[in-house]
Amino acid sequence: MLRIAVCDDNIDELSNMVQLIDLYRTSKHLNCEHAAFPNGFELVSVLEKGRRFDIYCLDIMMPGFTGIDVAKEILTFDKTAPILFFTSSPEFALDSYSVKAINYILKPISKEKLFFTFDELLEQIKLEKDEDAVIIKGNEGIQKILISNLTFVEVIGRNVLYHLRSGKVIECTEAFSAVCDNLMKYGCFIKPHRSYLVNMQYVDTIENQQITLQTLSSVPVAQGKAKEMKQQYLNYQMEGGA
């Protein structure tokens, strides 16, 4: 069941969006439900009660509590929520990037515009659901990390740090042994040092004392482990690794 939230203070445009989503659902034979909200306060109130949606469609220009404000609130409940903005002016599109919006559509919203955008959005959601990922309880709340975005993991004291391709670091407190057991199942990680795990998708060079990643980060290699790491990396490549 795909759940879509639509929020717009203009009742006519809100009604138009609901009708277009109904058309899309029928034409694509989707198992889908939607909820319409005339302002951001009502949407956030529903989220506070525990309800969640797979896609959030927000008007940017709403008085008092703008679409950007609503998006910021949504992200406190669901950091990976796909947010789609509607705007009457392209000048507001830049604002959408501050809250990691997945896309924006210029008004007036036509059937063609919405269908094209939803096709792309649902394909992306499908790919992310199909892709390997881990769920962790970080300092910023529960987060989903795609394995393809994770470059390396390190433990410092009692804290485990997940280093992402973007440069972001997600920190949490958990047993590093459990992290290793979980990640090693994916077949693309090596452990060059007792405090590090490296995703071989991002390995650039392996030397006697360090591994350099494509992100330019470097990870230490424990004494005497370089040969083993090189062999594991070679095996990974021969088995069709990235």
Q: Please state, in angstroms and rounded to a whole number, the distance separating the CA atoms of residues 28 and 21.
A: 10
Between 98 and 107, the higher pLDDT residue? 107
Q: Which residue is listed with tokens 């459990």?
A: 178
Q: Please state, in angstroms and rounded to a whole number, the distance separating the CA atoms of residues 206 and 96.
A: 40
Query: Tell me, what amino acid is at 3?
Result: R
What's the pLDDT at 128?
60
What's the pLDDT at 129?
61
What's the pLDDT at 21?
95
* pLDDT (mean) for 150-174: 93
**If you average pLDDT over every residue of the chain, what do you get?**
88
pLDDT in tens, 170-227: 999 889 999 999 999 989 999 999 999 999 999 999 999 999 999 999 999 999 999 9
Q: Please state, in angstroms and rounded to a whole number, the distance separating the CA atoms of residues 227 and 242.
A: 20
pLDDT in tens, 126-151: 656 657 888 888 777 788 888 989 99
Domain 133-238, CATH homologous superfamily name and number = LytTr DNA-binding domain (2.40.50.1020)
pLDDT more than 90, % of the chain: 57
Q: What is the helix (H) or strand (E) element at residue 218, kind and residue range? A: strand 218-220
What's the pLDDT at 139?
76
Q: DSSP label at 99?
A: G
Give the residue among 137, 210, 219, 225 at the shortest CA–CA distance from 178.
137
Choose the CATH number for 2-130 among 3.40.718.10, 3.40.190.80, 3.50.50.60, 3.40.50.2300. 3.40.50.2300
Between 214 and 81, the higher pLDDT residue? 214
Beta carbons of 162 and 136 less than 8 angstroms apart: yes
Beta carbons of 15 and 9 less than 8 angstroms apart: no
What's the pLDDT at 171?
93
Q: Please state, in angstroms and rounded to a whole number, the distance separating the CA atoms of residues 17 and 110.
A: 9
Q: Which residue is listed with tokens 């002016």?
A: 89
Listed by start position, the domains of the chain span 2-130, 133-238
Report the interhelical angle of 11-28 vs 111-130 (nearest 10°).
Answer: 60
Query: Which 3 state secondary structure label does DSSP give 199?
Result: strand
Asked whether residue 100 carries a pLDDT value surpassing 70, the answer given is: no
pLDDT in tens, 29-59: 888 899 999 999 999 999 999 888 989 999 9
What's the pLDDT at 97?
54
Q: Please state, in angstroms and rounded to a whole number, the distance separating the CA atoms of residues 68 and 231.
A: 50
